Amino acid sequence: MSELAYLTLSQAANLLRNRKLSPVEYVEGLFRRIRDLDPRLNAFIRLTEDEAMRTARQAEAEIAAGRWRGPLHGVPYGLKDIIDAAGHPSTAHSKILLDNVAKGDATVTGKLRAAGGVLMGKLSTHEFALGGPSFDLPFPPARNPWNPDHHPGGSSSGAGAALAAGFLPAALGTDTGGSVRNPASMCGIVGMKATYGRVSRAGVIPLSFSLDHVGPMTRTVEDNALLLNVIAGYDPADTASARVPALDFAKDLKRGVKGLKIGIVRHFHIRDLPAEADMTQSIEDAGKLLTELGAELREISLPPLGDYSDCNRTILFAEAYAIHERWLQERPEDYGALTRERLLAGAFMRAVDYVQALRTRAMLTRETNAAMAAVDALICASSMQVACRIDDPAAVAATYARQARTPFNLTGLPAMSVPTGFSQAGLPLAMQIVGKPFDEAGIYRVAYAYEQASAWTSRHPALD
């Protein structure tokens, strides 16, 4: 079973296409693993077994007839439970939306279905992608497979846990202030927040209209590029969707980094928010490895982290309150306490604060893009510390504050979290790789070279 559990998406695709693995056997095997192990991890809110088996049987018949749809054909995936799948509830992990059955697919879900993917279920999230981990919601919070007493990151927490635990080779999360990259960092997987507008958000429950992204989550860099290939593209149903050409994000994976100029933003984790020693050392070691692979490492400076985080917080809470105002007035008791507290902060945001934050955002974006002009990509911290205990609210709150992900929601730049090793306690370490607008392929190129040289993504938690 462990061999099936930790097949990469690309490995599974090759086996399925060549009929060395049955989609039905693959899906059945993963469901057995989920039923056995997920009671300890709570990665799933809901399994979609009947639909998954129908889709797997259809994929098997199509592949046998020579009608292969591509690398996702017959491959299992999961959706964060704010992403619509027709006929299934999108609850946002909340009592507010327990009966919210989706009438249609989100654009990204429709693309995965068209590619032949097999939906295995809806994955745990923090309530409305904001309030968590919480123990006063209709569903328990997801836990970290590397140590179930610890937080898996959020808000795409179930996706991070499911991938690390070998329940799925692919999942979709969302990222407003780091919610794809945080669980990727905490769970030792790969999570991409592509350029703002690259991936449609139509059919996804919003948190902050101008900061939300949908992102691919996988165990390896190549798999992540293959998943982004499927979900990227212009969508008129999303007013922020960008009219940019479709790309093969995996095309340049193996070109290496020789000759590339890669910036390192040390002041984020050295001065602005000093990181734990293990995390700092892992980023330095990653930079050294990239130089050994032929890249030129340059230290660059960006505006202080506090400038980005203050601006992001103002925009996020103002926009989130605008979305939730009616429910907060009519059904405040149906929110979890943490979500309600965070959302109500938006009620006290003045119009002048929001407008000034938008002006600051434009300035920070200009300064960040100017610094990026000198390099092909940059590396920096993702989290400043490893996963904390899930039952320690103060530690969890500190974890969310101690990160360097929000600059790239604010500026819209593509950013990906990749594993960089393990702490002395055996918990995952990570860094971000950041690219220029719409240069996700460049990020994947750097990430793949680092991944192949370091091999951190080949390690998995001991759950069996």
Closest listed residue to residue 190, CA positions, set 211, 166, 168, 216? 216
What does the alpha-carbon distance between residue 4 and residue 26 come to, in Å, rounded to a whole number? 7
Cβ atoms within 10 A of the Cβ of 85, count?
A: 25
CA 370, CA 374: separation in Å to the nearest integer?
8
Residue spans of alpha helices (H) in 167-272: 181-187, 221-231, 266-267
Catalytic positions: 80, 155, 179
CB 186 within 8 A of CB 461: no
> How far is CA 374 from each of CA 188, 262, 357, 369, 378, rounded to the nearest angstrom?
30, 9, 27, 9, 10
Q: Which of 413, 412, 438 is nearest to 210 (CA)?
A: 412
Rounded CA gap, 277 and 264, in Å?
17
CB of 205 within 8 A of CB of 327?
Answer: no
Tell me if 380 sits within 8 A of 268, measured CB to CB: yes
